[in-house]
Amino acid sequence: MAASGTLHEQRRLGVLDGLRGLAVLQVLWYHMWEISWLTPPPALAFLPATGFFGVTLFFFLSGFVISYPFVGARAAGAEQPGWRDFAYRRFVKIVPSYILSIAVAYAIGYAQKQPNAATVPDIVTHLLFVHTWFPQRYGTINGVLWTLAVEVEFYCIFPIIWWCFARRPWLTAGTMIVVACLWRSAFAGCCYTTIFAQYEENLPGYLDIFAFGMLGAYVFVTQKERLSAPSIKRLAPLVAAAGFALLWLLLANCFAYRFYDQWSAVWQIDRRPLLGVAFFLMAMGSLLSPPRWQVLLDNPPLRYLAAISYNLYLYHQMAARELFWHHIPAFRGDPHYDHQWQIRYSEIAVAVSIAIATAVTYAVERPLLRVRTRRRAGVRAAT
């Protein structure tokens, strides 16, 4: 359900699929808007302009999803998922599609066009998932790949974080939030005109968002009986609605800073935890709500977008920019002031991106994920 893959064999949490679908739509809208300049009415102009916050929601969902089976096993007194299986599933989910997207970027000449492109350093740092720590490599090959470095680095340190979280969940989460805030503040103070915008986007700067996701899984599992009371279920949609309302206000507030230098990074220095609070309320309220609320998120279109979301994220910007560079649909001069072209371009770019993501998901990603499942099923049958 997140880039981390499925929830092992736990019960599927459909509303998280829906949130992931919304997150990838937000990022998709943001990059299409950057290229087409197709902007909604003024009252809604902040939505595409702040679409990059869809990535922050991805990180929250990853924190929730990878913690969920571990929290569930501990609460039930059962054996926790094995670290070998944990590493294998994340490798199979992330790496093959990631490498394929890099190969495609070079094959079509997309990577070579990126600013500061240098083939060997770019490939080496990206394959090691450390490219975000080198400002010259940060946006090379394919600009969206920076998030995979953050994700994979979090997976690498998750066993240590889980060891602490399993013993002191609130203290561990609180420490992660403090570390993230101090990281962003420190780089704003020392390196505002140089590397602040890049380094505040590295893993330490997002530990608070992962922490809120982990807390979501912890509260949902350990307080399930108390939170299942009829009175709570009646209030849960209001909690979810409050989360969505808070997110709406935060995005609008961030957009108000757009005329400041490095506006989005500056806004997040001390406000990123508020995004974590909004996501927590959205997720917990929706998970505990009656079915008539859950269907707003747990529905076929959003589940489908969630299923292809990883590859849609990897390829959408590449596909959209290639269409523009090849004048598809056709244009002369500057097309950004041709409203009909903006609409037609956006329709084609979204359709092509979804088609590519669907093909890669079901021809590459899903078959690889099923290999381990079939092998484990064979072992059980033999046993």
What's CA 154's distance to the chain center, in Å? 13
pLDDT score of 381: 53
Angle between helices 83-107 and 119-127 (to 10 degrees): 160
Whether 203 has a pLDDT exceeding 70, the answer reads yes
Assign 9 a pLDDT band (cuts: 50, 70, 90): very low
Helix (H, G, I), strand (E, B) or coil at 2: strand
Distance from C-alpha of 20 to C-alpha of 7, rounded to nearest angstrom: 14
**Mean pLDDT in residue range 98-123:** 96
* Sequence-separated (6 or more) residues with CB below 8 Å from residue 231: none
Whether 6 has a pLDDT exceeding 80, the answer reads no
Distance from C-alpha of 322 to C-alpha of 310, rounded to nearest angstrom: 19
pLDDT score of 225: 87
Distance from C-alpha of 128 to C-alpha of 152, rounded to nearest angstrom: 10
pLDDT score of 377: 52
Assign 380 a pLDDT band (cuts: 50, 70, 90): low
Summarize pLDDT for 342-356 with one digit per residue, the tens: 999 999 999 999 999
Helix (H, G, I), strand (E, B) or coil at 12: coil
- Asked if residue 272 lies in contact with residue 56, where contact means CB atoms within 8 angstroms, the answer is yes
- Asked if residue 32 lies in contact with residue 320, where contact means CB atoms within 8 angstroms, the answer is yes
Whether 5 has a pLDDT exceeding 80, the answer reads no
Assign 369 a pLDDT band (cuts: 50, 70, 90): confident
Lowest mean pLDDT among 143-152, 201-210, 313-322, 365-374: 365-374
pLDDT score of 7: 39
**Per-residue buried b or exposed e for 319-349, using 16+ beta carbons within 10 Å of the residue's own CB:** bbbbbbeeeeeeeeeebeeeeebbebbbeeb
**Mean pLDDT in residue range 253-266:** 96
Helix (H, G, I), strand (E, B) or coil at 110: coil
**Beta partners for 2?**
5
Summarize pLDDT for 32-83 with one digit per residue, the tens: 999 999 999 999 999 999 999 999 999 999 999 999 999 999 999 999 999 9
Distance from C-alpha of 373 to C-alpha of 175, rounded to nearest angstrom: 36
- Asked if residue 97 lies in contact with residue 311, where contact means CB atoms within 8 angstroms, the answer is yes
Per-chain mean pLDDT for the chain = 93
- Asked if residue 214 lies in contact with residue 63, where contact means CB atoms within 8 angstroms, the answer is yes
Please report, as a single letter, which amino acid is at residue 145.
L
Lowest mean pLDDT among 200-204, 207-211, 302-306, 369-373: 369-373
**Mean pLDDT in residue range 116-136:** 96
Count of C-beta atoms within a 10 Å radius of residue 47: 18
Whether 383 has a pLDDT exceeding 60, the answer reads no
**Per-residue buried b or exposed e for 218-250, using 16+ beta carbons within 10 Å of the residue's own CB:** bbbbeeeeeeeeeeeeeebbebbbebbebbeeb
Distance from C-alpha of 257 to C-alpha of 266, rounded to nearest angstrom: 9
Report how far apart the first and last C-alpha atoms of the chain are (Å, whole number).
30
**Beta partners for 5?**
2
pLDDT score of 291: 93
Summarize pLDDT for 294-338 with one digit per residue, the tens: 999 999 999 999 999 999 999 999 999 999 999 999 999 999 999
Distance from C-alpha of 95 to C-alpha of 303, rounded to nearest angstrom: 22
pLDDT score of 224: 87
pLDDT score of 215: 98
Q: In the chain, which ranges are continuous DSSP H helix?
A: 14-36, 46-49, 53-76, 83-107, 119-127, 146-167, 169-191, 196-199, 207-222, 224-227, 230-255, 263-287, 291-294, 300-307, 309-325, 339-360, 366-382
Whether 160 has a pLDDT exceeding 80, the answer reads yes
Distance from C-alpha of 316 to C-alpha of 308, rounded to nearest angstrom: 11
